[in-house]
Amino acid sequence: MIPLSVCIVTCNEEHNLRRALDSIRGIADEIVLVDAGSTDRTQEIARQAGARVFVRPFTNHSDQKNYAASLATNDWIFLLDADEAPDATLQQSIREWKASEPRFFVYKMARLNWYLGAWVRHSRWYPDYKERIYRRDKAAFSHVIHSALPYKGHVGRLRGSLLHYSFRNLAEHEKKLERYGTAVAQDMFDHGRRNWRAAMWLAAPWAWFHHYVMGAGFLDGRRGAVIARMAARGVRLKFAKLGELVENERRLQSGGWRGAGSDPQPGLGSAARGTPGRSLAE
């Protein structure tokens, strides 16, 4: 039997955490939870479920996940977000995998997203494969904004779906788009990108087409239309924010930045350069 440590990173997730913890009963040999300083009952709920709870200030998603994996007592890790839960088929698939000899070092699973009251099975949101079970000595998470588990070898696939309760309402989706757009714009700027106008006007319509037409979002009805619209809005937003950064830089270089109380750096303000919230990929 393969011993499996389930690792979860959190910050104010009391509305999601019980569901996630209930879903891994009979799967997890250990639960490691790394919390970024929640002010709600997240830590209390985790301890009640028998999790080992550690508190660590948030750096970025990859760092938090890798730190959680480093605290586990087992080498096999199942990285689970607090707003996720394996369905019955995936639970059984994991149990069968635990009772067998592993053929791969990394395993992926389909992720099914719940959005505005229904499961989304198109719109390029499904199957949305995620690598989540892995040996920590063979793979690790990387990337600051979109955390991912890069691995060059063969990846196994488990049956079932990882249920993802991503957005409770449209306002929450819009809020995350704003945070994500700020973080991505700053990252592009820091990596030297300065062209943004053409991308803002061309990439946004393509994002809509990509989700609604190529991704068969029209089969998701009203939700598919909203997803496509929000995808286009997110692309337009990140390039518009990049444009603000570029213009601020030009003002500084020309000596024209003189606003009282203005941020002295060519960024989107001190809050924008701070730690971003959970990205849309999380």
> What are the tokens at 41?
């009952």
pLDDT in tens, 217-249: 999 999 999 999 999 999 999 999 999 999 999
Q: What is the pLDDT of residues 190-209, one digit of tens each?
A: 999 999 999 899 999 999 99
> Mean pLDDT for each 10-residue chunk of the chain (282 residues)?
97 97 97 98 98 96 96 98 98 98 97 96 95 97 84 96 94 92 92 91 94 96 96 95 94 66 47 37 42
Q: Structurally, how many domains does the chain consist of?
A: 2
Q: Tell me, what CATH number does 86's domain have? A: 3.90.550.10
Give the position of tokens 């009203």.
222
Q: Which residues pair with 118 in a beta bridge?
A: 115
User: Is residue 265 situated within a structural domain?
Assistant: no
pLDDT score for 281: 38
278 belongs to a structural domain: no
The domain boundary, picked from 132, 167, 202, lies at 167
For residue 276, the model assigns a pLDDT of 34
134 and 17 part of one domain: yes
pLDDT the model gives residue 256: 57
Q: Is residue 280 part of a domain?
A: no
- At residue 267, the pLDDT reads 54
| Same domain assignment for residues 152 and 184 | no
In this structure, the answer to whether residues 94 and 47 fall within a common structural domain is yes
Same domain, 177 and 249: yes
Domain ranges, residue 131: 4-167
Pair 195, 179 in one domain? yes
Q: Report the candidate in 16, 46, 12, 14 with the shortest Cα–Cα distance to residue 31.
A: 46
Rounded Cα gap, residues 6 and 32, in angstroms: 6
pTM of the model: 0.84
The owner of tokens 């592009």 is 188
180/152 same-domain check: no
